[in-house]
Amino acid sequence: MLHNKNEDYIASVNNYVSGFNDNSFRKLAGKDFKSWPDPLEETWRLSRLGTLARKKIEPIKINFDKSVKSNLNTIGSNIIKFFDGAYREDISSKLPIGVSLKELNETESLSYLSKIKNTNLKNHPSTNASLSCTPSIIKLSVDKNTKILDLIEIHYEGGEESLSVHPVLFIELNENSSLSIIERFNHLGSLIMPLQLIDIKDSASLNSIKIFDDNHKSYNLSAHCVFLSQKSVLNSFSLVKGSQFTRSETHAYLNGKNSKLNLNGVYISGDKQHHDLTTAIYHNVPECVSKQSVRGILGGESTGVFQGKVRVAPNAQKTDGQQMSKAILISDKASANAKPELEIYADDVVCAHGATVGELDDDQLFYLSSRGITKDKARLMLIKAFLKDIINESVEEALHDFIFKEAQFSLSSILKNDLVV
C-alpha cells in the first residue's frame, strides 16, 4: 500500500491537539498546520522538505521523571536546560537577580500566538507545529534598567528517533536592560522545531549566539521573530554545523527609530548536509541600521543556502541596510545558493548587498606559496582566517576562542573527508 507521505506528521500533530479546547492556542495553531511548505513556494524552493515529509515522525511525549544525560560542557554558571523541548527546572541553575523565567499561562500564550501570527512567520511549519505541541511557552525576561553581565547559557538536548521536539521561547528585554545569551542545540531526535519571539524594548540590548549542532540525521527547522524598539540593539551570531538539514529563519522587525541589528552567521557543511540561513529584515521606521554578514564553507556533497531580504518601508528614510554573503566551496560536489534581496520603497537610504561564491583567492594562495608555505597548509590558513574574521567581528572577545573551537571541530571533520581542490 502506498504510504501517504504528507499527512502522517500533520495528522499526528492534529491528533495531539484534538483533546484541547477549540479556542486554545494549541488548537488554533494546529488548525493552520495543514501541510509542509510547497517546494514551489518561493522561500522554500532552495530548501525542500520532501524527504522530511516522507518520514514517519510524531510529537514527543514529555516525561519529566526521565533521567537526563547532558553532553554539553558549560562555560559559566548560569545554565537553563531544555530536555525533549521542555524546560527542566530541576537541572537548571539559579539565574542572576533581574532575570526571570516562567511558563506562560493560556491567556499569555494566546497573545504570543497572535503576535507571531501578525508576522511573516505565521505559516512557518515550526510556528504551527511547535505552538501545537510545545510542553509550554517559556518566557525569559530581564527587568527594566538591569544590565546582566553574566552570560546566560541555554542548552537544548534530548529528542529521540522518529520524534519531534518543540522548545518555544519568549525572550523579553525591558527598557534599558541588557543581556548576553548563548544557545546550543544538541538534540538526538529526528525533528527539532524551535520557535522564538524576541522583544527588545527601548534602549535595551541583546547579544545572542546560537550554535546549531544537532545529530547529523536530524532536521532542525528554527524560526525566530524579533521586534526592535527605539534605540534597541540586537547582535546575533549563528553557527550552523549540525543536522542533516538545518534551516534557521529569522524575521526582524525594526519598529523603533535608531534601532540597530547585526545579524551574522556561519555555516560549515560536509557530507550530505543542507544548511540554510534565511533572514528577512523589515525597516519600518526611519534611521535604523541593519548589517548582515554570512559566510559558508561547504565540503562533501553539502548544500548551503543564504536567503536574505531587506525591506525598506515607504517612510523609513535614512535607513542603512547592508548585507554580505560569502561562500567557499571546497569540494567538487558541494553547492552554494544565495539570494540576497532588496525591496526598497524609500529614496533616502543607503542599501547595498554583495555575494560571492567560489574558491579561495588565487592571489592570496600564491602569496602564501611564495613564502614557502605548502598549498594545503595555505588553504587551511585561509579557510581558518575566513572563519576567524567573521567570528571576531560578530561575538564578544571573551567568547572568540570558544566559538572558534566549536567551528574548527566541524571544519577539521569536513576537511578530513575532502581532498581540498
Should residue 419 be labelled a site residue for another protein when binding is judged by CB under 8 A? no
User: Given candidates 7, 348, 389, 393, which one binds another protein under the rule CB under 8 A?
Assistant: 348
User: Given candidates 75, 91, 110, 351, which one binds another protein under the rule CB under 8 A?
Assistant: 351
CB of 352 to another protein, least distance (A): 5
User: 87 burial class (0-12, 13-18, 19+ CB within 10 angstroms)?
Assistant: buried
User: 218 burial class (0-12, 13-18, 19+ CB within 10 angstroms)?
Assistant: buried
Should residue 331 be labelled a site residue for another protein when binding is judged by CB under 8 A? yes
As a whole number of angstroms, the distance between CA 287 and CA 257 comes to 6
Among the residue ranges 77-85, 230-238, 313-321, 380-388, the one whose residues contact another protein (CB under 8 A):
313-321
Contacts of residue 75, Cβ cutoff 8 Å, sequence gap at least 6:
151, 153, 182, 399, 402
**Strands (DSSP E) along 143-177, which ranges?**
147-158, 163-165, 168-173
CB of 342 to another protein, least distance (A): 4
CB of 338 to another protein, least distance (A): 4
Q: How far, in Å, are 222, 233, 411 from residue 161 at the CA level? A: 18, 38, 26
CB of 397 to another protein, least distance (A): 31
CB of 41 to another protein, least distance (A): 10
Q: Tally the residues of the chain.
A: 421
Count of residues near another protein by CB under 8 A = 37
Give yes or no for a contact between 326 and 296, defined as CB atoms under 8 angstroms apart.
yes
Among the residue ranges 55-63, 116-124, 325-333, 398-406, the one whose residues contact another protein (CB under 8 A):
325-333
Of 189 and 296, which CB lies nearer to another protein in the complex structure?
296
Q: For strands 137-142 and 168-173, give the pairing.
A: parallel
Write down the residue that cell numbers 532575570 correspond to: 99
Among the residue ranges 179-187, 193-201, 248-256, 334-342, the one whose residues contact another protein (CB under 8 A):
334-342
Should residue 329 be labelled a site residue for another protein when binding is judged by CB under 8 A? yes
CA proximity to 227, closest of 199, 268, 194, 208: 199
User: Given candidates 327, 378, 395, 415, which one binds another protein under the rule CB under 8 A?
Assistant: 327
Should residue 120 be labelled a site residue for another protein when binding is judged by CB under 8 A? no
As given in the structure block, the three cell numbers for residue 200 are 527588545
User: Given candidates 72, 110, 342, 380, which one binds another protein under the rule CB under 8 A?
Assistant: 342
CB of 406 to another protein, least distance (A): 24
Should residue 364 be labelled a site residue for another protein when binding is judged by CB under 8 A? no
Reduced to 3 states (helix: H, G, I; strand: E, B; else coil), residue 324 is: strand
What sign has the CA pseudo-torsion 163, 92, 194, 335?
A: negative
Of 182 and 288, which CB lies nearer to another protein in the complex structure?
288
As a whole number of angstroms, the distance between CA 197 and CA 185 comes to 17
Site map (CB under 8 A) of another protein, residues 12-51, x = contact: ------------------------------x---------
Output the CA angle 142-145-150, nearest 5 degrees.
Answer: 55
CA proximity to 107, closest of 207, 50, 11, 25: 25
User: 166 burial class (0-12, 13-18, 19+ CB within 10 angstroms)?
Assistant: buried
CB of 359 to another protein, least distance (A): 5
Of 42 and 376, which CB lies nearer to another protein in the complex structure?
42
Of 197 and 329, which CB lies nearer to another protein in the complex structure?
329
Of 50 and 314, which CB lies nearer to another protein in the complex structure?
314
As given in the structure block, the three cell numbers for residue 41 are 513556494
Should residue 359 be labelled a site residue for another protein when binding is judged by CB under 8 A? yes
Measured in whole angstroms, how far is the alpha carbon of residue 235 from the centre of its chain?
Answer: 13
CB of 31 to another protein, least distance (A): 26
Torsion of Cα atoms, 381 then 385 then 388 then 393, to 10°:
170
Should residue 354 be labelled a site residue for another protein when binding is judged by CB under 8 A? yes
User: Given candidates 27, 122, 257, 353, which one binds another protein under the rule CB under 8 A?
Assistant: 353
User: Given candidates 150, 343, 396, 401, which one binds another protein under the rule CB under 8 A?
Assistant: 343
**What residue ranges bind another protein (CB under 8 A)?**
42, 314-315, 317, 327-332, 334-359, 421
